């Protein structure tokens, strides 16, 4: 997968206006064709602003000021959002129905799914959304994508594809939902099914929403809520899952011309210490050839828990070299949220 952008709305721009000019020609959901109250459902999508310290690991690529959406999913102030908006942030606020702001704190950020949970003790004055079943979403469906601001910022989006997604930042999920046209405020936006239930959380702007179409169409990728359900209770109780932490290299890799090209290496990751460099091409993991991002990640994660050494065969300057990387748990190099 190429041409993705995670970081919309992370610049310090204040709460977004109630109408985005890019939505002027977008198709709109029509209340008469829906099985739910559109205004009520969209009210659960609230503005989110977050601030990370300047020395946070994620600040270099996400910025310190972040802005997007969060979705209220329970009466006790629990909100679901996309995790990169809140990762390492020490100040998080969400909007209320009357235009005020309320402080929230991080419950969990799950690196495997990319989803984040926050909670506020304030009454936001809105009704929570019920989680639906993303497994029922089908290519060709027309669903509602909503950002904060109600109907003015909602579009009727076509489901372009439902498929596996691999991200350059050591990320792989199944059942990712791709929509078009793209929503300009996609981070943490809500994807609502035919009954007004939440089936996806906005993650990315992509250039290839349609998998098989040679004429690439831009759109958004949504993380399916079904990925949250098996780990929900663990995240609420412990702030993490019971899964052993995956081994992490700290490389950013793209598929290009049939090769796996490392475009960047994290300064705080173990790969840089092992001598991995931008421009290297990954050929094999632990002696097994890898040809795409999913196979790279499956071989990496299948090698054991974080802390296991991983051998990489790399192509550099037209010659093959081998390096051994002592992997780490990515969460351990991130700032942890303050206890509340």
In the prediction, which pLDDT does 214 show?
59
Q: What is the pLDDT of residues 315-324, one digit of tens each?
A: 999 999 999 9
Convert 82-114 to b/e letters by CB count within 10 Å (16 or more is b): bbbbbbbbeebbbbbeeeebbebbbbbbbbebb
Whether the ω angle into residue 181 lies within 30 degrees of 0, i.e. cis, is yes
Compute the C-alpha angle 311/282/213, nearest 5°. Answer: 140
Fold of the domain built from segment(s) 1-243: Thrombin, subunit H (2.40.10)
What are φ and ψ of residue 84, in 5° steps?
-65, -20
187 with 6: CB under 8 angstroms? Answer: yes
Q: What is the pLDDT of residues 179-193, one digit of tens each?
A: 999 999 999 999 999
- The pair of structure tokens assigned to 172 is 């792989």
Q: Which of 329, 141, 335, 153 is nearest to 249 (CA)?
A: 329
Q: What is the pLDDT of residues 126-150, one digit of tens each?
A: 999 999 999 999 999 999 999 999 9
Question: Mean pLDDT, to the nearest integer, of 229-237?
Answer: 97
Question: Which CATH number fits the domain 251-333, given the four candidates 3.30.420.10, 2.30.42.10, 3.60.20.10, 3.40.50.1460?
Answer: 2.30.42.10
In the prediction, which pLDDT does 338 show?
55
Question: Domain-by-domain residue ranges, the chain?
Answer: 1-243, 251-333
Q: What global pTM score does this model have?
A: 0.93
Is it the case that residue 8 has pLDDT exceeding 60? no
Question: Mean pLDDT, to the nearest integer, of 8-34?
Answer: 67
Question: Mean pLDDT, to the nearest integer, of 271-280?
Answer: 98
In the prediction, which pLDDT does 322 show?
98
In the prediction, which pLDDT does 3 show?
54
Q: What is the pLDDT of residues 170-180, one digit of tens each?
A: 999 999 999 99
Is it the case that residue 78 has pLDDT exceeding 70? yes
Is it the case that residue 2 has pLDDT exceeding 60? no
| CB within 8 Å of 269: residues ≥ 6 apart | 248, 249, 250, 251, 328, 333
């Amino acid at each position: 997968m190429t041409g993705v952008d995670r970081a919309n709305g992370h610049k310090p721009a204040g709460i977004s206006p109630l109408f985005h000019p890019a939505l002027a020609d977008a198709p709109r959901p029509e209340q008469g064709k829906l099985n739910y109250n559109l205004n009520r459902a969209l009210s659960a999508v609230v503005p989110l602003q977050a601030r990370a310290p300047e020395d946070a690991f994620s600040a270099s690529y996400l910025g310190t000021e972040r802005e997007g959406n969060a979705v209220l999913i329970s009466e006790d102030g629990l909100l679901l959002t996309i995790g990169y908006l809140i990762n390492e942030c020490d100040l998080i606020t969400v909007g209320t129905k009357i235009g005020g702001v309320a402080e929230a704190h991080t419950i969990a950020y799950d690196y495997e799914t990319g989803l984040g949970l926050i909670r506020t003790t304030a009454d936001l004055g809105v009704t929570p959304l019920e989680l639906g079943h993303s497994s029922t979403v089908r290519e060709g469906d027309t669903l509602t994508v909503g950002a904060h601001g109600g109907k003015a910022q909602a579009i009727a989006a076509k489901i372009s594809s439902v498929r596996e997604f691999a991200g350059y930042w050591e990320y792989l999920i199944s059942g990712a939902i791709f929509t078009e046209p793209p929503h300009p405020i996609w981070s943490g936006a809500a994807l609502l099914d035919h009954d007004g239930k939440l089936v996806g959380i906005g993650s990315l702007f992509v250039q290839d929403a349609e998998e098989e179409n040679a004429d690439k169409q831009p759109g958004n990728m949504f993380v399916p809520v079904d990925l949250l359900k098996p780990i929900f209770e663990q995240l609420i109780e412990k702030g993490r899952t019971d899964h052993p932490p995956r081994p992490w290299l700290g490389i950013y890799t793209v598929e290009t011309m049939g090769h796996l090209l490392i475009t960047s290496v994290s300064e705080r990751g173990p790969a840089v210490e092992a001598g991995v460099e931008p421009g290297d091409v990954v050929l094999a993991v632990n002696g097994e050839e890898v040809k795409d991002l999913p196979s790279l990640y499956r071989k990496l994660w299948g090698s054991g828990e974080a802390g296991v050494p991983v051998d990489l065969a790399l192509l550099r300057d037209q010659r093959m070299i081998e390096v051994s990387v002592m992997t780490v748990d990515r969460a351990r190099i991130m700032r942890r949220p303050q206890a509340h």
